[in-house]
């Protein structure tokens, strides 16, 4: 019996869901089943045997001819009045639906439910039980039940849509799938505060909800309905019907975040390998998902909007169904960024490559990953190479993802920004642009290079191309890149000197930290030229730091704001570097003191020289002058001035040489330590 509980449509009476014909030509008490054959409980012997599949129906011609146009036409075309057997193997709904239709022809009461209405409606269409033969025929009554009862109920619409899986293409042609999808979409988009129908709410262990045990699950007025209340109910549908429902929900204006969440919920239920991080082909045939093996393998229909895959498809039926699910989910993911997580997209991409999904859809999925590549993790990027490539991991795939990310970044920078919210930081977060996204991607790529560099099959060209794909501004520090280079050198000890130099060109020695410089200075795997560059860059850094410290101590006002930043920098440096810094400061103070002493001695000597010159001038006035003596005096004065200048220059050279001899060994020891 049909029972709709709180979802009854007022003002409509369908005899409590019981159908019966108003005319009875053959009086009967019902049908009797004997083995695989149905017999009419009547004294009149049957004159027509109808075979549907492996079930035989012993019936009478007149009740069927009076209500079925198809049987009328078949008997007319055969022109055999003594025809006693008819084979109808293609009846939609099978023997169960034909049994109900035959009972209706005999005037026997038929119980209409959400489970049998779709099959009975298709069987009535197949048998051509129209109003032309009799008023109130089966097509009219089943159509009325669908329109006024099923479509007004949330759970009946779900059950009918689920039952349509075995009725293709009849259910599609009769618009049963479309109407049920529209009904489900309208109710899913309704305000959760106004929901008064039953729903599962929580995931169940069985493949479909138990509708009979849901009488107490209907939300009360005081109970708050979550926005994802419809996820579990919709997830029991086959993939093509799920696509129809999601498409209808999109048209109704559902938020893209909820649509993406429902797609991820559906994938977690029907793609068990997606949760298990994508296992091999051997794991695809396991019974890890009862719902997939039971419902998916029985699917005989087609999904018309799906692009066909490669010709060399796996023989496993479950793998084919999973490939079709993946292709369908890719086609309905909302175009907005962050509608689904980047981790979900990468796991979907992993399974797409493993199951040989259509290349056009794989490319579309790669572009979607590139839109939010900064959200990826290293574990999701380690996708094995399923195309029999020479490398263990699919490095070319990561290269393409990075290219899509850079293209997306460039497009967003060049496109005009909408006037949405004030503040550049908030706008960058919404759009994913800005230097922070590139920095996160740079760290991710460096970690990926470190991981895949252990593969001895990875060529130097692939490593170099991936490392140089990002612009220089994306990396503030090249420590991660140095770590990847060192790991590659460990795994490839047979590289030539030229190849090692070529590998190290991707790294900027000036962007290495103190710890990385200390490690590189003692790294025997690096070329000697690179080690020298590292040491030189370290000396330049220390010299700049010392110059900054000297200006700060001199009280220069323009360097005052840098004190706190420099203090923070020193606190984050190793202890050995701080000790070297203190020793260098002592050397600077010693050099300053010696320089001041030399300056004082120089001033004192200059003063004494001036006194001696004045005394000499006084003494020379008392003597008689002559042309020879005046010339000699000029020559002697010129000689003294020259000696004085040479003395000053020698003093300056001595001071500079002394300072250099004091500083150079100390700086060298600090860099090595």
Model confidence over 48-58: pLDDT tens digits?
Answer: 899 998 999 99
Range in 19-33, 278-292, 317-331 the model is least confident about: 278-292
Distance, CA of 273 to CA of 487 (rounded, Å): 32
Asked whether the predicted pLDDT for residue 79 surpasses 60, the reply is yes
Band (581; pLDDT cuts 50, 70, 90) = low
All domains in the chain, ordered by first residue = 31-152 (3.30.710.10)
pLDDT by residue (tens digit) across 544-571? 777 777 676 665 544 444 434 444 444 5
Instruction: Report in angstroms the alpha-carbon separations of 294 from 35, 159, 193, 262, 290.
Output: 27, 17, 36, 22, 6
Task: Give the tens place of pLDDT for each residue, 423-435.
Answer: 444 344 444 455 6
Strand 85-87 relative to strand 48-52, pairing: parallel
**Average pLDDT for residues 297-305, to the nearest whole number?**
34
pLDDT value of residue 642? 54
- Give Cα separations from 446 to 343, 408, 440, 441, 453 (angstroms): 19, 20, 10, 9, 10
Looking at residue 63, what DSSP letter applies?
H
Q: Which residue has the higher pLDDT, 34 or 568?
A: 34
211: Cβ–Cβ under 8 A, 6 or more apart, which residues?
A: 155, 159
CB atoms within 10 A of CB 668: 12
Judged against a pLDDT cut of 50, whether residue 255 lies above it is answered with: yes
- Structural contact between residues 71 and 127, judged by C-beta atoms closer than 8 angstroms: yes
For 225, half-sphere exposure in the C-beta direction (CA atoms, 13 angstrom radius) is 23
pLDDT for 492 beyond 80: yes
The percent of residues above 90 in pLDDT, for the chain, comes to: 37
Q: What is the mean pLDDT of the chain?
A: 76
Contacts of 413 (CB under 8 A, 6+ apart): 433
Cα angle vertex 425, ends 419, 426, to 5°? 55
Of 97 and 552, the one with more pLDDT: 97
- Residues with Cβ < 8 Å from 209, sequence gap 6 or more? 155, 200, 232, 233, 236
Q: Which ranges of 106-153 does DSSP label H, i.e. alpha helix?
A: 117-126, 138-145
pLDDT tens digits for 618-645? 887 765 555 545 554 555 555 555 555 5
Confidence of residue 585 (pLDDT cuts 50, 70, 90): low
pTM here is: 0.69
Mean pLDDT of 328-343: 93
Average of per-residue pLDDT across 268-289: 54
């Amino acid at each position: 019996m049909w029972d709709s509980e709180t979802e009854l449509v007022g003002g409509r009476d369908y005899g409590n869901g019981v159908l019966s014909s108003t005319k009875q030509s053959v009086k009967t008490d019902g049908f009797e089943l004997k083995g695989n054959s149905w017999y009419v409980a009547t004294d009149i012997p049957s004159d027509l045997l109808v075979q549907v599949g492996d079930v035989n129906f012993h019936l009478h011609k007149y009740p069927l001819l009076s209500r079925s146009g198809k049987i009328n036409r078949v008997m007319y075309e055969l022109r055999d009045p003594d025809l006693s057997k008819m084979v109808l193997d293609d009846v939609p709904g099978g023997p169960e639906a034909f049994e109900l239709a035959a009972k209706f022809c005999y005037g026997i009461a038929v119980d209409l439910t959400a489970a049998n209405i779709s099959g009975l409606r298709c069987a009535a269409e197949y048998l051509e039980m129209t109003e032309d033969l009799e008023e109130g025929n089966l097509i009219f009554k089943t159509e009325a039940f669908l329109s006024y009862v099923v479509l007004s109920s949330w759970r009946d619409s779900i059950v009918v849509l689920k039952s349509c899986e075995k009725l293709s293409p009849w259910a599609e042609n009769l618009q049963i799938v479309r109407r049920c999808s529209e009904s489900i979409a309208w109710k899913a988009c309704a305000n959760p505060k106004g929901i008064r129908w039953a729903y599962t709410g929580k995931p169940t262990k069985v493949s479909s909800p138990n509708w009979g045990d849901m009488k107490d699950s209907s939300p009360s007025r005081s109970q708050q309905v979550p926005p994802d209340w419809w996820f579990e109910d919709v997830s029991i549908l086959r993939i093509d019907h799920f696509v129809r429902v999601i498409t209808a929900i999109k048209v109704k204006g559902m938020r893209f975040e909820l649509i993406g969440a429902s797609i991820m919920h559906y994938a977690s239920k029907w793609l068990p390998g997606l949760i298990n991080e994508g296992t091999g082909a051997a794991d695809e045939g396991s019974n890890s998902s009862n719902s997939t093996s039971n419902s998916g393998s029985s699917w005989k229909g087609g999904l018309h909007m799906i692009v066909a895959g490669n010709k060399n498809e796996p023989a496993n039926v479950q793998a084919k169904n999973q490939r079709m699910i993946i292709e369908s989910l890719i086609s309905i993911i909302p175009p907005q960024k962050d509608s689904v997580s980047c981790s979900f997209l990468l796991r979907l991409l992993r399974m797409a490559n493993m199951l040989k999904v259509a290349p056009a859809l794989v490319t579309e999925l790669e572009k979607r990953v590139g839109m939010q590549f900064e959200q990826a993790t290293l574990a999701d990027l380690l996708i094995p190479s399923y195309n029999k490539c020479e490398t263990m991991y699919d490095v070319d795939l990561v290269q393409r993802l990075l290219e899509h990310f850079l293209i997306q970044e460039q497009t967003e920078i060049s496109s005009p920004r909408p006037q949405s919210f004030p503040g550049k930081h908030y706008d960058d977060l919404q759009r994913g642009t800005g230097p922070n996204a590139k920095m996160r991607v740079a760290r991710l790529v460096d970690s990926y290079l470190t991981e895949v560099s252990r593969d001895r099959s990875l060529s130097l060209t692939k490593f170099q191309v991936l490392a140089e794909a990002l612009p220089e501004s994306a990396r503030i520090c090249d420590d991660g890149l140095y770590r990847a280079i060192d790991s590659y050198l460990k795994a490839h000890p047979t590289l030539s000197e030229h190849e090692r130099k070529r590998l190290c060109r991707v790294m900027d020695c000036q962007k290495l930290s103190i710890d990385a410089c200390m490690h590189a200075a003692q790294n025997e795997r690096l070329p000697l030229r690179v080690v020298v560059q590292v040491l030189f860059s370290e000396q330049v850094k220390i010299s700049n730091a010392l110059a900054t410290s000297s200006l700060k101590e001199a009280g220069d006002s323009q360097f005052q704001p840098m004190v706190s930043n420099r203090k923070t920098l020193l606190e984050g440096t190793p202890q050995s570097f701080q000790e070297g810094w203190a020793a260098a400061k002592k050397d600077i103070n010693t050099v300053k003191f010696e320089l001041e002493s030399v300056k004082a001695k120089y001033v004192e000597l200059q003063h004494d020289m001036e006194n001696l010159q004045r005394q000499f001038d006084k003494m020379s006035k008392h003597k008689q002058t002559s042309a020879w003596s005046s010339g000699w005096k000029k020559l002697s004065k010129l000689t003294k001035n020259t000696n004085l200048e040479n003395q000053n220059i020698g003093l300056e050279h001595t001071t500079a040489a002394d300072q250099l001899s004091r500083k150079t060994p100390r700086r060298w020891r600090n860099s090595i330590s």
